[in-house]
A and B are shown apart, each in its own frame.
Chain A
C-alpha cells in the first residue's frame, strides 16, 4: 500500500503548493465542460421539448437519433471532429484543432443527444391536457411551453446531471481534438492519463480526487435543487 501513501503525500503537497499547474488544469476542465453543458442545455432542452410535445414528420427518427446518441462512443465523436477540423478537413481553415473551442464542440456533440433525449422523455410525461388547461386559462404558446418545462423540472434536472456526467469524465474526444497541450487544452482526465503513463502517481491521484470532488459537488447541488423542486411533487 506504500504506493498509495506516497502518491497521496506527493499529490497533497502539489495541491498546496500549486505546482504543475494543477489549478490551471482544473480551470480548463471546468471552462470546457461548463461551456459544453451550457450549450447542450440551450440547444437540447428546446429540441427535447419539441420531440416530447409536438407531432411532426421525422420526429420518430429524431428520437431514435437522440437515443442512439446517448450511447455515442466519445472516441468516434473525437475522430469525426478531428477529421472535420484537420488541415485537410472541410473546416481546416478555421485552425481550431487542438484548441478549447474544438473540445467544447466535441463535448457538445456528446452531451446534446443526452440532454435532448432525457428532456424529451421528461416533457412527454406532462399530460397534454395540462397544456390544454394552461391554454384555456389564457397562456400563450411560450407561456404554455414554460409551464410544461416547469412541470417537467425533475426530469430536466436529471438531463443536466446526465449531460454533465457524460462529458466531465470523458477522455477520448478531448485528447483527440484538444491534444493535451499544457496550459492550453490539458484537462483533468487527459492529465491523469498522462501522469499515470509516466508513473507519476502523485499528481494523477490529486487530479483524480479533484475530479471526483467536482462530480460530487455538482451532483450535491443538483440534488438540492431537485429536493427543493420536490416540495410539490406529492
Chain B
C-alpha cells in the first residue's frame, strides 16, 4: 500500500489448543512460518486446518497457547496485527456491490485516500486478470472470477501475512490449475508470509515452500516441501500423501558423496553425507520413478538406481496411474501416464525395471530404538517445527 518495500512477517505459534463442545479440534505444540515463505497446511477434511488458520489469523481465540508475530505475542484485540493480515476462504464470499467496491473494502477500512484506492484497485484487478471488471456487480461473477476478486481483495492490502483457506477447492480443474500457478507466481513475487490450507497435495507442491501435515488437530510432519513429500514422517503421512511408507536401510559405504544403502538386500544409491553404518529411512516420490519393460535395454541416463521387480498393483490416481511393484522385500511406487501404462502393457505380474536418480532419493537417519523418525534438528515428530535443516545432500 505504501509503495515501500514491505518486510514480511514471521509467525510462530505455540501450544495452541482449541475445543468445540468438549472435542479437541486443534492441538499444536509449535509451528513456525518463516518470513516471506508460503506454508501449506495439508490434511484431510476435519483435521482442524481451517480452525488453526482462523486462530493464526486472529479471527478466533484459542483456548490456550500464543501466537508470535515477529517475536511479539498478538491477540484478536491487537488492531495493528489484525490490519497486517488478510484472508481468502474456500467460498469467495463477496460483498454486495461492484467488483471494485469489494477490492477496495479493506483499503477503505484503513482510510486510504480515495484517489489512491482507485489506482490500487485497478492495478490489482489487472494483476489477477480482471482489468476493466471493476464496475461489474460482484454477485454476477462465476466461481473462478469471484475467487480472483477475493484474492485481489486480500492482496491489495499488501498484508504481511496472507491466509488462504482452500482457495481453489470450489473451482473446476482448468481454472484451479491456472489459478494455482497464478497464486504461486503472485506469492513468490510479493514475498508475503502465507499460510495456505489445502487438502490437495498437488496444490501444496505448486504453491508452497514449506508444508505442515495435520491429522486430528495435531501437526504430524512439518518441513520443506521436498523433505516432507520425499520422505513421509510415518506410515499415515505416507498413505495420505499417496506414497509407500519409508524404507528402512543401512548405509554400507559412501563413495564420492553417494551412499550405498542396503534395503533388505537391494542396494539403493543415494546422494548424501551420512556415515557408513547409519540406520536410515529412505523414500522416493512415485513421479521420480521411471519404469521400463523387463527385457528392454535401459537408455544411458543418470538414473543410477535400477531395480527389477514385479508389478503388484495398478490404480487410478487422478489423471495418472500409480503402479506398485515389489523388488525382493521392497515396495516401490511409480506414477505413470495412461499412455505409458498402455505402452508397457502393465498388469499385475509383469516384470519391469524401475529407474530413478540418486538425487531423487530422500534419506534421514533413525534412532536405534526406531521409535519413529527424527528430524535433523533433534525435534520429535509431531512438534511441527518448520525450521529443519535441508537434508538434501
Contact = CB atoms under 8 A, between A and B. Distances in A.
A139 B109 contact: yes
Contacts of A135: 59, 82
A136 B137 contact: no
Given A134-B105, A136-B57, A129 B86 contact: no
A129 B93 contact: yes
B109 A143 contact: yes
Q: Is the interface of B mostly helix, strand, loop or mixed?
A: mixed
A233 B139 contact: yes
Contacts of A137: 86-87, 105-106, 109, 153-154, 157
B95 A140 contact: no
B162 to A, nearest CB: 10
Contacts of B177: none
A133 interface: yes
Contacts of B87: 133, 136-137
Interface residues of B, number: 29
A120 to B, nearest CB: 19
B98 interface: yes
B151 to A, nearest CB: 12
B86 A147 contact: no
B109 A234 contact: no
A10 interface: no
Q: Is the interface of A mostly helix, strand, loop or mixed?
A: helix
Given A132-B89, A136-B87, A150-B95, 20 more contacts: A127-B93, A129-B89, A129-B93, A130-B93, A134-B95, A136-B59, A136-B85, A136-B86, A136-B89, A136-B154, A137-B109, A138-B83, A138-B85, A138-B157, A151-B95, A232-B97, A232-B98, A233-B96, A233-B139, A234-B139
29 contacts: A129-B91, A129-B93, A130-B93, A130-B95, A133-B87, A133-B89, A133-B93, A134-B95, A135-B59, A135-B82, A136-B59, A136-B154, A137-B86, A137-B154, A137-B157, A138-B82, A138-B85, A138-B86, A138-B106, A138-B109, A138-B110, A150-B95, A150-B96, A151-B95, A232-B96, A232-B98, A232-B137, A232-B138, A232-B139
Nearest 8 Cβ contacts at the A-B interface: A136-B87, A137-B106, A130-B93, A138-B83, A232-B96, A232-B137, A133-B93, A138-B109
